[in-house]
Structure formats: structure tokens, C-alpha cells
């Protein structure tokens, strides 16, 4: 999708469709109070073109509500689309992001290939954050998952124009717009990986895709397999992959900004299970096809690293993605087995793990990934994984789960998600949860029973970060969009890319 930024008057923009935002100014909470929609633009020609529609009561400016006008009088645009933001006092830049995605998804099935999207002219909605959000939303809206349809009709938007208020700060908006393009493309890169079927994206192929991306954006990279896992004594990681005919892949990416030789080193660790059958503790067949998305945490780290390489924050970053298939076979690990995780140092033995359930495999690969990131020099850690169904039970498909052992790291992440617009809810850690994963035969076991499953999984990972400042993101509930929304297609969401990027930037100097 080609993009451009314009400061021309809205009524003079020649385009197939011009999208303008509207909001409901009604503050009366009485049940019979009628919406009072207003356009968020001062352009007199736009106001005149939409006056009859706004007066009719047909369009209420609800969140992501749309209304289309053909051949609007006084406008160079062929069509005028009104997109609602909902109640005006509550509207934020994140609502603008959704509205831009809604506008893009509105035109795609209608054969319209170009769109101009007008930023809101409102003191409540600052142009800079709105410009970034709108461009990100446009890229999110343009993605469709139908990659392998034999007669696929490409409905991609060819040109997206962001129309800024005439008197806006041109330099600031150009910078915000350029950032947003990188972030939107990086989120879609993650989505394209998560969308791939397990037979089209094995661990080896995921490693190849990561290497190609890293080479394109200037990241250092290494991709290893079975021999490296054995050399590093990654017994937890290897135990997951041993049941599959497909070899594992250990992907390591390095970002080293010029002139940065001290300060923190951030470690990004992602679960990359390219297909999860559950292993010997096999999953039910219903919805097992979605288990191709069990590498969404690893894909999020790859998307974040792509954005980091292009936006160039002044902080060193390492990414470790542990990719494997979890399959049942004669060589697969069994419930009751005991595995030894990677030791942090030669004089310190690796933790022994009793396998209670082979479907609790994500924490096993992350255990070795977190240890390796620390061994490579990471002083602060963040991991992302579609880790537990328990997190989805607790938070539904509204918030992803987050855990942290460090208040400063969490404060930075909390600020990061306020910028990204993604929703994470912090859940507790504690000794009571740690007790639930103690093993009678080894050091720890890989599940703590039915109750508090997201918390016991996080406590399992905490064993391997020790005192290193750390954040764990359980994205199982948000990595896959179950039903299409006005602003995003059903399928992979690319969640966590924006928040991880912003967290990294909080450490830049």
C-alpha cells in the first residue's frame, strides 16, 4: 500500500473516497436522549455536503459506524464517508486508529482502491498521536488472511492519503507518519507469519524468514538447530521438539545502535511453536487447526525487531525465538519424564522439570530461551507467548495477561501500552503460586493444576529469570481475532508488536 501525507484543504483533495470523522456530542444520559453527531472538521464544503445526513438522525456517529455519500457537492472527492468515533469526550487517538481501519475495510470489498482519511480537527485529539494511530490503523485494516485461495481477488488498497489540518505542525506530523508506516508494516509482517499453515512455516522455514527480514533491515542474526541445542544443554527446549520429524530452530537477532556500548541490554524472548498438537497429552480435535498460531509470541518479537531496526532507538536489543513443533510420536516426551533445562553457567546445574502435561510445552522452550538471553548479556527481559488457556478464561478476548517481577520495568510497559493502544492486564505472582509447581521428583513441574494456570505458568518462567527485571506477556486470548471487526479481519492480530516496541524505546537515551 502506497502512502502519502497532505496538508491540502479537504474539499480540494481529488480521491475516490474521502473519509471524515464524526463524534456524538450528546452528554444527556436520559434514555430518550438523541445522539448529536458533529463532523470533526472545519471545512465548510464538507459540513455542507453532510448537513442533511446529520440532520436526518440516520447516522449517530457511534464507534466505527459508517455512512456513505456519493458525488458530494462542492468536493473534489467522488465519495464522502463519515466514520463515527462514539462519544466525543471519550474519543482518543486509539479510536482514530480503529476508525482508519474501518475506512480501509469499508472500501476494500467495494472495489475502491484509494482513500484519503482526514485527521480530526479537534483540540481533544492532538494531530501527532492521531496521525500515527491513523496510519497504523490503515495498515491493520488492509491485511486479509486469504493467502492461499486459488482464485484470490486482491482487494488491497493501492493508495492511502492522510489528510492533516492545514495549520498543523508539518515537521511533527511527517515524523509521526513515517514512524507509523514502519510500525504498521511490522505488525502486518508478524500477522503474515502467524497466518501461515504449519506445513508452510516449519521451524526451519520460520528461521529462514527471520534471517531474510534481519538482512533486509540490518540486524545481526544467527539461526541454529539441533546441534546447538545439544551444545547449550537446552534440555527443556529439545524435549518439546524431540517428537517431531521437523528439527527445531533457535533464532537469535542482534540490534546494536551506533555509539552504544553501555547501558541496558534488552532481551526479547518469543515462543515459536509452529504447530502444537499437545504432544502425547494431545489436544481435542475441535479448533486444533488454529494451533498454527502458537508461534505468535515469537512472531511478535520478530515484528518488534523489524520496527526497532528501522526506528533505531539508542539501546541494545537481543531477540531469542525458540521454534519447534509439538507432536506425538514414538520419540515424543511423555508425562512423568524429567527434563533438565539449560544451566545459566557451567558451575550451576540446570533446573530439573517433571513433565506433568506435554501440552504445557511453551514454558519449556521459553525456559531455555530466557536463560540463553541472559547468558548473551540481557539485563532486562520481556517474553511473549500464547501460553495458557487459563489466561483466556480469566480475561476473555478483551485483555492479554501481563506479569512482572520488577516495578520499574512494569511502569515502563504500562506507559508503553498507553501509547500502543493495546490492552494488557497485570496479573499476580507469589509464593503461593510457586508452591503449586514444586515437584516431588525434581525441582519443578511444568503445570500446577487446574486453578490459577496463567499465574503458575508465569511462576514457572520466573524460576529462569531469577532477579533479572522481567515482563511476561500471555497473549493467548488476543493473538487471533475470532470474528471480523469493522477495523480488522478475522485471523492473526499481531498483538504485542506495538507495546514491545514502545517498551524498548523507554530504555533509549
Q: pLDDT, tens digit, for every residue of 466-502?
A: 999 999 999 999 999 999 999 999 999 999 999 999 9
Is the per-residue pLDDT at 30 higher than 80?
A: no
| Cα Rg of the chain, angstroms | 24
Cα 300 to Cα 501: distance, rounded to the nearest angstrom: 10
Cα 374 to Cα 302: distance, rounded to the nearest angstrom: 18
How confident is the model over 262-271, as a mean pLDDT? 97
What is the tens place of the pLDDT at every residue in 385-437?
999 999 999 999 999 999 999 999 999 999 999 999 999 999 999 999 999 99
Cα 314 to Cα 316: distance, rounded to the nearest angstrom: 7
Cα 137 to Cα 103: distance, rounded to the nearest angstrom: 9
Paired residues of 445 in beta bridges: 354
Angle at 347 between CA 342 and CA 351, to 5 degrees: 35
Q: Is 163 left (phi over 0), alpha (psi -120 to 50) or beta?
A: beta
Cα 436 to Cα 190: distance, rounded to the nearest angstrom: 34
What is the tens place of the pLDDT at every residue in 91-126?
999 999 999 999 999 999 999 999 999 999 998 999
Which triple of cell numbers denotes residue 179?
A: 514512524
Q: Are 139 and 187 in contact (CB under 8 A)?
A: yes
Q: Are 116 and 19 in contact (CB under 8 A)?
A: yes
Is the per-residue pLDDT at 143 higher than 80?
A: yes
User: How much is the pLDDT for 498?
Assistant: 98
Closest among 320, 275, 293 to 193, alpha carbons compared: 293
Sign of CA dihedral 254, 258, 261, 265: negative
So which residues are the catalytic ones? 283, 363
User: How much is the pLDDT for 152?
Assistant: 81
User: How much is the pLDDT for 241?
Assistant: 98
User: Phi and psi of 250, rounded to 5°?
Assistant: -105, 110
Q: What percent of the chain has pLDDT over 70?
A: 100
User: How much is the pLDDT for 32?
Assistant: 79
Paired residues of 53 in beta bridges: none
User: How much is the pLDDT for 460?
Assistant: 98
User: How much is the pLDDT for 62?
Assistant: 97
Q: Which residues contact 393 (CB under 8 A, 6 or more apart)?
A: none
How confident is the model over 124-133, as a mean pLDDT? 96
* Cα 132 → chain centroid: 16
Local confidence band at 151 (pLDDT 50, 70, 90 cut-offs): confident
Residue recorded with cell 492522510: 162
Local confidence band at 383 (pLDDT 50, 70, 90 cut-offs): very high
Q: Which domains does the chain have, with CATH numbers?
A: 2-148+156-165 (3.40.220.10), 188-505 (3.40.630.10)
Q: Are 317 and 265 in contact (CB under 8 A)?
A: yes
| Strands in 277-379 per DSSP E | 316-326, 338-340, 352-354
Paired residues of 84 in beta bridges: 22
Cα 182 to Cα 496: distance, rounded to the nearest angstrom: 15
> What is the number of alpha carbons within 13 Å of residue 184 lying toward its C-beta?
28
What is the tens place of the pLDDT at every residue in 196-254?
999 999 999 999 999 999 999 999 999 999 999 999 999 999 999 999 999 999 999 99
User: How much is the pLDDT for 6?
Assistant: 98
The model's pTM: 0.97
User: How much is the pLDDT for 418?
Assistant: 97
User: How much is the pLDDT for 27?
Assistant: 86
459-464: long-range contacts, CB 8 A cutoff, minimum separation 24: 459/429, 459/430, 459/433, 459/434, 460/363, 460/367, 461/363, 461/366, 461/367, 461/370, 461/383, 462/403, 462/405, 462/429, 462/434, 463/351, 463/367, 464/341, 464/351, 464/366, 464/367, 464/368, 464/370, 464/371
Is the per-residue pLDDT at 31 higher than 80?
A: no
| Most distant CA pair in the chain, distance | 79
Is the per-residue pLDDT at 7 higher than 90?
A: yes
User: How much is the pLDDT for 261?
Assistant: 83
What is the tens place of the pLDDT at every residue in 159-209?
999 999 999 999 999 999 999 999 999 999 999 999 999 999 999 999 999
Helix (H) or strand (E) holding 39: strand 37-39
Cα 118 to Cα 10: distance, rounded to the nearest angstrom: 7
Q: Please provide the distance, in angstroms rounded to a whole number, between the alpha carbons at the two ends of the chain.
A: 33
Local confidence band at 372 (pLDDT 50, 70, 90 cut-offs): very high
Residue recorded with cell 530504555: 507
Cα 452 to Cα 457: distance, rounded to the nearest angstrom: 9
Closest among 370, 91, 342 to 233, alpha carbons compared: 342
Is the per-residue pLDDT at 3 higher than 90?
A: yes
User: How much is the pLDDT for 206?
Assistant: 98
Residue by residue, DSSP assigns 71-115 as S-TT-SSSEEEEEEEEEGGG--HHHHHHHHHHHHHHHGGGT--EE
Order of strands, edge to edge, in the sheet holding 444-445? 338-340, 352-354, 444-445
> What is the number of alpha carbons within 13 Å of residue 142 lying toward its C-beta?
25
Amino acid at each position: 500500500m502506497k502512502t502519502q501525507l497532505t496538508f491540502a484543504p479537504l474539499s480540494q483533495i481529488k480521491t475516490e473516497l474521502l473519509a471524515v470523522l464524526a463524534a456524538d456530542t450528546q452528554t444527556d444520559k436520559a434514555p430518550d436522549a438523541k445522539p448529536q453527531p458533529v463532523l470533526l472538521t472545519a471545512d465548510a464544503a464538507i459540513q455542507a455536503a453532510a448537513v442533511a445526513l446529520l440532520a436526518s438522525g440516520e447516522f449517530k456517529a457511534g464507534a466505527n459506524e459508517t455512512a456513505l455519500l456519493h458525488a458530494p457537492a462542492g468536493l473534489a472527492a467522488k465519495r464522502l464517508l463519515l466514520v463515527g468515533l462514539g462519544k466525543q469526550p471519550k474519543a482518543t487517538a486509539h479510536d482514530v486508529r480503529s476508525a482508519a481501519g474501518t475506512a480501509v475495510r469499508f472500501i476494500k470489498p467495494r472495489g475502491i482502491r484509494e482513500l484519503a482519511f482526514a485527521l480530526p480537527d479537534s483540540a481533544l485529539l492532538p494531530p501527532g498521536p492521531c496521525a500515527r494511530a491513523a496510519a497504523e490503523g490503515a495498515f491493520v485494516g488492509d491485511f486479509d488472511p486469504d493467502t492461499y485461495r486459488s482464485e484470490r481477488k486482491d482487494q488491497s488498497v493501492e493508495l492511502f492519503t492522510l489528510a492533516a489540518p492545514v495549520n498543523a505542525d508539518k515537521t511533527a506530523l511527517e515524523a509521526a507518519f513515517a514512524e507509523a508506516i514502519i510500525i504498521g508494516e511490522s505488525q502486518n509482517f508478524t500477522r503474515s507469519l502467524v497466518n501461515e499453515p504449519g506445513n508452510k512455516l516449519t521451524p526451519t522455514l520460520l528461521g529462514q524468514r527471520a534471517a531474510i527480514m534481519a538482512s533486509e533491515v540490518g540486524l545481526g542474526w544467527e539461526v541454529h538447530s539441533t546441534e546447538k541445542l545439544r551444545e547449550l544443554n537446552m534440555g527443556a527446549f529439545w524435549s518439546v521438539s524431540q517428537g517431531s520429524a521437523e528439527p527445531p530452530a533457535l533464532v537469535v537477532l542482534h540490534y546494536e545502535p551506533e555509539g552504544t556500548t553501555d547501558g541496558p541490554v534488552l532481551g526479547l524472548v518469543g515462543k515459536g511453536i509452529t504447530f502444537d498438537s499437545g504432544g502425547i497429552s494431545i489436544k481435542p480435535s475441535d479448533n486444533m487447526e488454529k494451533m498454527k498460531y502458537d508461534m505468535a509470541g515469537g512472531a511478535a518479537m520478530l515484528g518488534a525487531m523489524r520496527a526497532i531496526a528501522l526506528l533505531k532507538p539508542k539501546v541494545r536489543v537481543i531477540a531469542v525465538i525458540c521454534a519447534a513443533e509439538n507432536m506425538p510420536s514414538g520419540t515424543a516426551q511423555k508425562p512423568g519424564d524429567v527434563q533438565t533445562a539449560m544451566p545459566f553457567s557451567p558451575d550451576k546445574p540446570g533446573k530439573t522439570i517433571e513433565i506433568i502435561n506435554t501440552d504445557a510445552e511453551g514454558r519449556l522452550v521459553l525456559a531455555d530461551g530466557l536463560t540463553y538471553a541472559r547468558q548473551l548479556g540481557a539485563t532486562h527481559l520481556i517474553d511473549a507467548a500464547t501460553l495458557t488457556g487459563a489466561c483466556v478464561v480469566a480475561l476473555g478476548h478483551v485483555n492479554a495477561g501481563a506479569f512482572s517481577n520488577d516495578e520499574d520495568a512494569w511502569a515502563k510497559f504500562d506507559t508503553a501500552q498507553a501509547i500502543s493502544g493495546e490492552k494488557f492486564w497485570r496479573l499476580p505472582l507469589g509464593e503461593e503460586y510457586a508452591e503449586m509447581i514444586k515437584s516431588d521428583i525434581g525441582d519443578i513441574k511444568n503445570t500446577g493444576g487446574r486453578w490459577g494456570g496463567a499465574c503458575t505458568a508465569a511462576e514457572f518462567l520466573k524460576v529462569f529469570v531469577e532477579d533479572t527485571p522481567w515482563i511476561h506477556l500471555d497473549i493467548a486470548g488476543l493473538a487471533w481475532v475470532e470474528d471480523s471487526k469493522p477495523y480488522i479481519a478475522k485471523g492473526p492480530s499481531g498483538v504485542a508488536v506495538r507495546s514491545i516496541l514502545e517498551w524498548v524505546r523507554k530504555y533509549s537515551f
